[in-house]
Amino acid sequence: MGVKRFQHTLRELHTLRHDRLELQYLNAMNYRHAKPTIADTLRNVNQHAPFPPFDDKKSYAGFVPAAAYLRWVHTTILDGLRPLMSKQMMTPDGQIFKSDHSFKIIKKLAKVTEASEFCALYSFCKEYKEIHMQRPAPTKSLTHLQTSFQGMARPYRLCGHKLPEVFIH
Task: For residue range 95-104, list pLDDT tens digits in order.
Answer: 777 777 777 7
Q: How far is CA 7 from the centre of its chain?
A: 18
pLDDT value at residue 102: 76
Residue 85 and residue 116 share a domain? no
Q: Note the pLDDT tens digit of each residue in 121-146.
A: 888 887 777 777 788 877 777 777 77
157 by Cβ neighbours in 10 Å (0-12 / 13-18 / 19+) ranks as exposed
| Number of separate domains in the chain | 2
Residue 112 and residue 38 share a domain? no
pLDDT grade, residue 116 (50/70/90)?
Answer: low
pLDDT grade, residue 89 (50/70/90)?
Answer: low
Residue 123 and residue 60 share a domain? no
Rounded CA gap, 108 and 154, in Å?
A: 32
Residue 110 and residue 76 share a domain? no
pLDDT above 70: percentage of residues in the chain: 84
Q: How many CA atoms lie within 13 A of 5 on its CB side?
A: 2
Position 13: which residue type? Answer: L
Residues 14/62, Cβ–Cβ less than 8 Å: yes
Q: Note the pLDDT tens digit of each residue in 71-87.
A: 999 999 999 998 888 77
Among 57, 63, 56, 37, residue whose Cα is nearest residue 48? 37
Helices (H), the chain: 3-34, 38-43, 67-90, 146-159
pLDDT value at residue 169: 65
pLDDT above 90: percentage of residues in the chain: 15
The answer to whether residue 58 scores a pLDDT higher than 80 is no
The answer to whether residue 27 scores a pLDDT higher than 90 is yes
End position of a domain, from candidates 73, 90, 107 = 90
Residue 73 and residue 132 share a domain? no
Residue 100 and residue 83 share a domain? no
Rounded CA gap, 114 and 108, in Å?
A: 10
Number of H helices, E strands in the chain: 4, 6
Question: What is the DSSP pairing of strand 131-137 with strand 120-125?
Answer: antiparallel
The answer to whether residue 109 scores a pLDDT higher than 80 is no
Residue 104 and residue 81 share a domain? no
Quote the domain boundaries for residue 137. Answer: 96-168
Q: Which of 24-38, 69-83, 106-120 shows the lowest per-residue confidence on average (mean pLDDT)?
A: 106-120
Residue 138 and residue 78 share a domain? no
End position of a domain, from candidates 30, 62, 90 = 90
